[in-house]
Structure 1
Amino acid sequence: MRHIQTERLLLRAISAGDAEALYAIFGDPETNRYNPHGPHSSIEHARMALAGWTEEWKRHGFGRWSVACREEPGRIIGFGGLSYGDYGGQDRLNLGYRFAPSAWGKGLASEMARQALQCAFEALAAPAVFAKVRPANLPSIRVLLRSGFSHHGSLRDIPAAPASLVYISRAPAK
């Protein structure tokens, strides 16, 4: 799960060298339009996030990927993958992603999400994967629906913000 190729993407485990790309994407106000926490404030914030994500890989053997197009393997266009997330006091396998605006509208987030689900259900034998999304983030909701998720409820996870919508994708029946 550390290095995967899809039809159009290269997915690889994040590394410390990804800090500038992470800051470029997570520090961009446009990619944080629906994020109540706002963009990363500094390159140091990006480095701290990467350190935490690296620990997830060490602890669980999976985590977020750096995402590049196969035709441009040296240019990171996004980050995404699986991690554990807090769902009202319960740790659940969570799908998350964020892509640079130049990658939007091409189905790349959906392609990455489908690969993450395949890893969750086949390699990890997970019964389900969850995702949280802000109610106004219609593009992200479309990614989840195209990737096989269905609406599962809502969660008050950020004080003074509307409840997040919770989506779920269940493992296929065997």
Structure 2
Amino acid sequence: METTENLILRKPENDDFERFFEINRDPQTNLYNPSGPMNIEKAEGTFKRMQEHWDQYNFGGWTIIAKENKSIIGFGGLSYKMYGEEEKLNLGYRFAVEAWGKGYATEFTKKAIEFGFTSISKEEIFGIVRPDNIASVKVLEKAGMIRIGKLNDVPGQPESLVYRIQK
């Protein structure tokens, strides 16, 4: 378990799935997601992969909890992801709408980067963001990540922006 000033980050538990699905099926949280809101099958598969990543690497996506009311407000963390042909350590997150605009994403991102460099001794961390997702672009930049290029990861859509931070 990790903590920040306002957040508790812990390994996902089976009981978290309902909230995971609730957040990921919300059209608002998927405004910039080309595949759109998750259906139950996609959510189950994604949640299972998140748990398997923990089993394999002893880190991964966390359940993100607000300290003030102990509610689950999102999911995110570091996990291995294919960037075209290359596997990279990817920082990703998705927050519930009610958690937006409170600085949680920036606080979370800074903690995830610190965790990557200190707790698991990684040299670099990457992030992918859709070009029109200005809020997430700002979060990555506030956390010290630098745009290093683009990735054509969604057929027929503008290229995603690739960010990186090095230790």
Q: What TM-score results when the alignment is normalised by the length of structure 2? A: 0.97
- Unaligned ranges ≥5, structure 2: none
Q: What TM-score results when the alignment is normalised by the length of structure 1? A: 0.93
Alpha-carbon contact 1:16-1:47 (below 8 Å) kept = no
| Identity score, percent | 43
Residue number in structure 1 paired with 2:3: 5
Matches within 5 A, 1:22-171: 22-42=20-40, 44-73=41-70, 75-171=71-167
**Structure 1, 15-24 or 127-136: larger mean CA deviation:** 15-24
Alpha-carbon contact 1:16-1:51 (below 8 Å) kept = no
Deviation at 1:48, TM superposition (A): 2.1
Question: 2: CA distance between counterparts of 1:66 and 1:85?
Answer: 19
Tell me the number of residue pairs that the alignment of Structure 1 and Structure 2 aligns: 167
Report runs of 4+ in structure 1 exceeding 6 Å deviation.
Answer: none
Question: 1: CA distance between counterparts of 2:73 and 2:102?
Answer: 12
Question: 1: CA distance between counterparts of 2:101 and 2:165?
Answer: 22
Question: 1: CA distance between counterparts of 2:36 and 2:84?
Answer: 22
* Partner secondary structure for residue 118 of structure 2: helix
Deviation at 1:67, TM superposition (A): 0.5
- Unaligned ranges ≥5, structure 1: none
Deviation at 1:87, TM superposition (A): 1.2
